[in-house]
């Protein structure tokens, strides 16, 4: 694979902590295409399965998220890349979604293709990782490898050692401690995943119910279906499918704009938002303002 470094962050950026780094990506000034605000963050769910069944995740319930092992194909990635090129997309990608992304056999190729368009982050439970895999992720132009540590503090040393052995820069790997117990919030900004889980100390959405997620992000499922956000594990109401329409057409469609507008007004009156307790105002305020202007609100 041709080695071509396209990382979007300087060494100063990489010293900033996780939240500060995400703010710089998600809360940037919005980019426009045909006067329509574009997303800054695209999450891809590249495999419909996980090797774990965490108590706070809908994966634990087979009636909601059975492991089908469906994988996002390279032809879908090619189609997506073509769509994003057409609109000169300048945002970032996150390989995470509704499963464990390292279970996709084409993960390195997927990362490399997307990295030509923008920064790519990967969120993983780390179970499949070996030092040689960490190196392969780095060589695929991945920007950040984010490892969720669910088992305990001992994992810090294990992954630090692996990172050292792999020979990649230390700040390529971010370790997230998420092992706290269910009386707290498991170290996460815990939500009910649109009414599909009920454990731990969950966050309650902002009093006015507003949600900015559809203003700045999209989640693309393994088969090309586009969903409103990473909290929507019900996955019943797709905004469209990228194998049938261009991404921009779906992003600016009537149904997407209807949800977007209602959520900017604080109306969580339709599923999946009706059942969701996520605080939708953590990021994306500049995109929300841009959409409000577009809708003349
Ligand atoms: C669904 S996981 C997919 C990636 C990978 N399997 C992992 O766990 O890191 C994506 C992110 O969602 C987080 N997550 C899982 N359940 C959650 C919940 N109920 N509320 C908030 N975040 C949650 C995970 O900790 C992880 O950071
Ligand atoms: S949080 Fe991640 S590792 Fe845990 S079950 Fe869900 S997808 Fe799997
Ligand atoms: S209200 Fe919940 S389900 Fe709806 S877009 Fe916002 S975070 Fe997603």
pLDDT digits (tens, 9 = 90+) for 88-103: 999 999 999 999 999 9
What are the C-alpha distances in Å from 4 to residues 1, 138, 140, 142?
9, 11, 9, 11
Q: Using CA atoms, how far apart are residues 161 and 171, in angstroms rounded to an integer?
A: 13
pLDDT lower than 70: segments of the chain = 1-18, 187, 206
- Give one word for 124, left, alpha or beta, with left for phi > 0 and alpha for psi -120 to 50: beta
- What per-residue confidence (pLDDT) applies to 206? 67
Ligand 2 atom, smallest distance to 57 CA = 6
Q: Which ligand is closest in space to the CA of residue 268? A: 3
In whole angstroms, how far apart are CA 29 and each of 6, 15, 224, 288? 21, 22, 27, 11
pLDDT confidence of residue 202: 79
pLDDT of residue 16: 46
Instruction: Compute the distance between CA of residue 77 and CA of residue 194 in angstroms, rounded to an integer.
Output: 27
Contact (CB, 8 A) for 8 and 118: yes
Nearest CA to ligand 3 atom 8: 229
* Centre of ligand 3 from the C-alpha of residue 131, in Å: 37
Q: Is the CB of 194 under 6 A from ligand 3?
A: yes
pLDDT at 182: 72
| CA 153/CA 196 separation, integer angstroms | 28
């Amino acid at each position: 694979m041709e080695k071509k470094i396209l990382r979007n962050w300087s060494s100063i950026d990489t010293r900033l902590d996780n939240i500060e780094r995400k703010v710089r990506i998600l809360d940037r000034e919005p980019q426009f295409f045909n006067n329509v605000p574009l997303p800054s963050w695209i999450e891809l769910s590249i495999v419909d399965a996980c090797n774990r069944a965490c108590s706070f995740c809908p994966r634990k319930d087979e009636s909601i998220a059975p492991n089908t092992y469906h994988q996002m194909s390279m032809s879908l990635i090619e189609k997506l890349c073509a769509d994003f090129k057409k609109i000169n997309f300048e945002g970032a990608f996150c390989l995470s979604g509704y499963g464990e992304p390292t279970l996709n056999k084409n993960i390195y190729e997927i990362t490399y293709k997307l990295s030509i368009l923008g920064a790519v982050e990967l969120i993983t439970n780390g179970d499949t990782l070996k030092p040689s895999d960490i190196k392969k992720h780095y060589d695929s132009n991945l920007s950040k490898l984010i490892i969720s540590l669910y088992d305990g503090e001992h994992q810090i040393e294990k992954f630090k050692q692996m990172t050292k052995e792999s020979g990649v820069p230390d700040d390529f790997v971010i370790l997230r401690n998420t092992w706290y117990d269910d009386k707290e919030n498991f170290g996460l900004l815990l939500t009910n995943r649109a009414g599909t889980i009920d454990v731990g100390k969950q966050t309650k959405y902002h009093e006015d119910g507003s949600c900015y997620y559809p203003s700045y992000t999209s989640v693309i499922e393994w088969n090309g279906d586009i969903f409103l956000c990473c909290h929507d594990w019900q996955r019943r109401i797709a905004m469209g499918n990228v194998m049938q329409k261009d991404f921009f057409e779906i992003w600016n469609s009537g149904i997407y704009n209807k949800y977007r507008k209602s959520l900017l007004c604080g109306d969580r009156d339709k599923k999946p938002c009706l059942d969701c307790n996520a605080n939708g105002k953590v990021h994306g305020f500049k995109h929300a303002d841009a959409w409000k202007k577009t809708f003349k609100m």
